[in-house]
Amino acid sequence: MVEIKTPEQIAKMREAGLVVAAIHEATRAAAVPGASTKDLDDVARKVLADHGAKSNFLGYGGFPATICTSVNDVVVHGIPDRETVLKDGDIISVDAGAIVDGWHGDAAFTVFVGTGHAPELHELSRVTEESMWAGIAAVRKGNRLVDISKAIEGYIRRQPRPASGKYGIIEDYGGHGIGSQMHMDPHLLNYVSKKRGKGPRLVTGFCIAIEPMVSLGTVKTHVLSDDWTVKTDDGTWSSHWEHSVALTEAGPLVLTAVDGGKAKLAELGVETAPDPLG
């Protein structure tokens, strides 16, 4: 069953989303050469404490940290530690979440550490982020879940191929419903699968975390012995972008974007809902 939210519940999710946005701002600034991924986790913990919010990552299935820090060929679920020290030329995807009064926010971004990155890495991140926004623009009443998947995949497929030969849309991980729990039905693929059908129809109160993960090569991944860290099978680097989105009577509201997604969606011809927090 898909959990449908009331306007009051969406307002609480917006509060949680803004805490996630604050974590993003702080960890993006902290992702510099010489910083360890544990340093970034410490930054995230402080932001949560400053906002009186709880972590929805810490302890989830035994996960030992408040954020996921996925460096280079790590796709998702990298565990912060003191040993992983960021170097000039790395890329890192930071996935963060927060709980406010029982309601969840969840979002991720990719950031470049230092300088000297190959143009195809910049393009990888851009393509992944823009595919996310294409998916968000498809969050409209009357659409079905598959329309989000179609928008994400369609955007990626239309882009010029990278020097590595192709973009790999990671198959084993995708977006998810969000609300009173971090991971809920429905599961959102970042590509169209005939086996999965069209999925539920999008209605007012529908909330979804949209999170494409794209590599410079394979679609296949494997999990390391820590039971969390997911890497590409061929060692190609990857990017991960995510926002949590609510569908309201007035249109989509990007819960984890500071401006609610207004500026970016305006570029795509989509009007966003008013911010319930003013």
Structure token digits, residue 5: 């939210």
Of 177, 159, 176, nearest to 168 (Cα)? 159
- Is residue 106 annotated as involved in ligand binding? yes
- Is residue 187 annotated as involved in ligand binding? no
| HSE toward the beta carbon, residue 107, CA cutoff 13 A | 31
- Is residue 234 annotated as involved in ligand binding? no
> What does the pLDDT read at residue 83?
98
10-residue block means of pLDDT along the chain (278 residues)? 96 98 98 98 98 98 98 98 98 98 98 96 98 98 97 98 92 97 98 88 98 97 98 98 98 98 97 95
> What does the pLDDT read at residue 213?
98
> What does the pLDDT read at residue 113?
98
Domains of the chain: 7-267 (3.90.230.10)
Give the sign of the dihedral formed by CA 224, CA 227, CA 232, CA 238.
Answer: negative
d(CA 119, CA 113): 14
> Would you say 57 and 63 are in contact if contact means Cβ atoms under 8 Å apart?
yes
DSSP letter assigned to residue 196: G
> What does the pLDDT read at residue 224?
98
Record the pTM.
Answer: 0.97
Kindly list the distances between the CA atom of residue 248 and the CA atoms of 142, 161, 265, in Å, as whole numbers in the listed order: 12, 36, 15
Q: What angle do CA 190, 192, 193 make, to 5 degrees?
A: 115
> Would you say 46 and 6 are in contact if contact means Cβ atoms under 8 Å apart?
no
- Is residue 95 annotated as involved in ligand binding? yes
- Is residue 183 annotated as involved in ligand binding? yes
- Is residue 242 annotated as involved in ligand binding? yes
- Within the chain, strands assigned E span 67-71, 74-76, 91-100, 103-112, 168-169, 175-177, 184-188, 207-210, 213-215, 221-223, 230-232, 238-240, 243-248, 251-254
